[in-house]
Chains A and B, each alone.
Chain A
Amino acid sequence: MTAAGSVERTVARVLGVSTTLGVALAGLGTAWLLVTGTSPLDVSGGAVAVVIAGLRVDPGAIIAAGVVALVAGPTLRVAAAIPGYVGRGERMMSGVSVAVLGVIALAVFVAGKGT
């Protein structure tokens, strides 16, 4: 075990916050779901559709926002590492981070093309 560097600490913080936020939103929406007695199997569309169509406040929209926060978390932690690597002059790790973001962007593009 070693002491974490500044990049590691930044990445850990971003990941911790996004996970906590995502799970908290999922928990809030689920609690609301239980209070209203809505069945989760009354599926009304995917998470993105719920967010786009909604901007309304209901259990589905809140959970969908939590899902988006969770999925965005790992991507944000990669982005958060870039300034640290650039600052330390680590060209290879800066390039790797940008390439990972490129794969994620490609996933969004490819998924969108298939809908």
Chain B
Amino acid sequence: MIAALVLIAGGLAAGVFGSLLGLGGGILIVPLLALGFGLPLHEAIGVSLVAVIATSGAAASVYLDRGVANLRLGMTLELFTASGALIGALIAFAVPDRALAALFAALLGYVAVTMLRGARAAAAREGAVEGEGTRSAALPGAGPTGRFDGPGYRVDRFGVGIAGSLFAGIVSALLGVGGGIVKVPLMHLAMGVPLRVATATSNLMIGITATSGAIVYLVRGEIAPLVAGPTVLGVYVGARAGARVAHRLDLRFLRILFTVVLGWTAFQMTLRALGA
């Protein structure tokens, strides 16, 4: 009973933090289950993928209904993220637990460094968004005339998008995360998709990406339902609550706190990778 409550609380915290800071819950769920509950990494990753599907499904349905997500672009790119995820899941089963821990520690370190750049980088990105939007809208012929274009923007460099999507899929299934950390910058910075649309479309793509990986974990018996239930419930409720309060909070302190948590978790994962 206590373990179930702690799983719900942990999932809740992962969902709230992930939602407030624009990350999927996976980056927190995997360490929670692996370090906090001593689950093998494969099991932690499998459960995390299911939680990621739940949170992305809820958000993506709203984004689609409001016409924010670019369904045609998302479905086309997810052909490659799903293929990458299948490859990633097979790699995950081929490498030992300690190698996965090392890779996860590297991912945590990367995200912690990204967080450290914090408010200044975010402000710079926001400026870039304005610039991108204006540039795209001003392009002659820009608009929903191309195969994947949307109102006011044109989708460029599709080949880069394909390669990046494959990579995002591999990262997702290998480490149990949604892969938005790759997909959003890919679509926004490399393909010229406005940040708001890129975030919504990434959210949509996460469903199929995580599904492709989760199926491998599911069929191979690596998703324990009794662990998945409380975790999914907590993450789902937490993500929805986080989304509701995000605009009311000053996220600077939260970013610093989160950076410290990620750094500590990366250290613990490194210890696990080293067998200490």
Contact = CB atoms under 8 A, between A and B. Distances in A.
Interface string B85-98: 11001100100000
Contacts, number: 220
Interface of B: 1, 3-5, 7-8, 37, 43, 50, 53-54, 57-58, 60-62, 64-69, 71-72, 75-76, 78-79, 82-83, 85-86, 89-90, 93, 144, 147, 150-151, 207-208, 210-216, 218-230, 232-233, 236
B37 A41 contact: yes
Contacts of B223: 46-47, 67
A32 B81 CA distance: 36
Contact of A115 (B82, B220, B230, B233): B220
B221 A46 contact: yes
A86 interface: no
A114 interface: yes
Contact of B53 (A47, A49, A71, A92): A71
A27 to B, nearest CB: 5
Nearest to A93: B72
Given A19-B58, A100-B78, A104-B212, 5 more contacts: A15-B57, A15-B61, A16-B65, A47-B224, A60-B225
Contacts of A67: 50, 218, 223, 225, 228-229, 232
Contacts of A110: 86, 90, 216
A60 B7 CA distance: 15
A107 B226 contact: no
B83 A4 contact: no
Interface string A43-70: 1111111100000000111011011101
Contact of A15 (B3, B64, B79, B230): B64
